[in-house]
């Protein structure tokens, strides 16, 4: 992941302070999605794709996963092992996390257009946007939940929340790899 982040940060005309802060965060979060990269690699192998073809997607997903964890901790006020570089400015912390999400999506720009058909890249970008919107909806539900038992069905409420947050996260991971490597809708839908 870190190699892709560094490459993308070099391409962007950023002020040094935010570039350095984003790089610092990525260095710390390097291992955040690593255990899932093994699963993404297994899906890639099953579908017969080359590792370097999906590597930018895997890096983008890993960075997005790290960004979503950072945002969740920030919104919940949870203690963190690696505080954001602007620890004393909450508004600046939110801006860094926003930049982290944008950087994650920017890693999709590194997908090899000469080896992946344009329609697949377009579909994976749409999947990215749709699933991040579902994740945001789940997080919104989590943040505004009353927790007082007034929801009609607390178990169903929580199930919907979990599907929107965690479910969407992994739908993007598995479905994204499939979308990049095949046009078989059944395979894509199954993995998504």
Boundaries of domain holding 73: 2-191
Q: How far is CA 87 from CA 8, 23, 69, 143, 182, in A?
A: 25, 16, 16, 22, 44
Instruction: Give pLDDT tens digits for 135-164.
Output: 999 999 888 876 655 566 778 888 888 899
Instruction: Give pLDDT tens digits for 161-184.
Output: 889 999 999 999 999 999 999 999
Is the Cβ–Cβ distance between 170 and 58 less than 8 Å?
A: no
The pLDDT of residue 33: 62
Instruction: Give pLDDT tens digits for 63-87.
Output: 999 999 999 999 988 888 888 877 6
Q: Is 152 helix (H, G, I), strand (E, B) or coil?
A: coil
Is the Cβ–Cβ distance between 177 and 47 less than 8 Å?
A: yes
Distance CA 76, CA 120 (A): 36
What is the domain-level CATH number for residue 137? 1.10.600.10
Number of domains forming the structure of the chain:
1
Distance CA 27, CA 5 (A): 9
């Amino acid at each position: 992941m870190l190699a892709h982040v560094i490459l993308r940060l070099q391409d962007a005309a950023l002020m040094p302070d935010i570039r350095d802060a984003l790089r610092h965060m990525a260095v710390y979060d390097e291992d955040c999605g690593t255990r899932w990269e093994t699963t993404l690699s297994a899906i890639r192998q099953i579908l017969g794709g080359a590792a370097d073809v999906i590597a930018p997607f895997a890096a983008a997903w890993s960075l997005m996963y790290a960004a979503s964890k950072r945002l969740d901790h920030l919104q919940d006020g949870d203690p963190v092992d690696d505080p954001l570089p602007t620890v004393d400015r909450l508004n600046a912390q939110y801006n860094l996390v926003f930049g982290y999400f944008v950087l994650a999506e920017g890693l999709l720009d590194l997908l090899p257009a000469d080896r992946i058909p344009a329609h697949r890249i377009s579909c994976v970008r749409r999947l990215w946007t749709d699933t991040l919107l579902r994740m945001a909806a789940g997080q919104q539900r989590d943040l505004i939940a009353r927790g007082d038992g007034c929801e009609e069905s607390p178990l169903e409420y929580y199930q919907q929340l979990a599907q929107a947050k965690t479910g969407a996260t992994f739908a993007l991971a598995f479905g994204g790899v499939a979308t990049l490597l095949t046009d078989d809708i059944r395979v894509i839908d199954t993995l998504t």
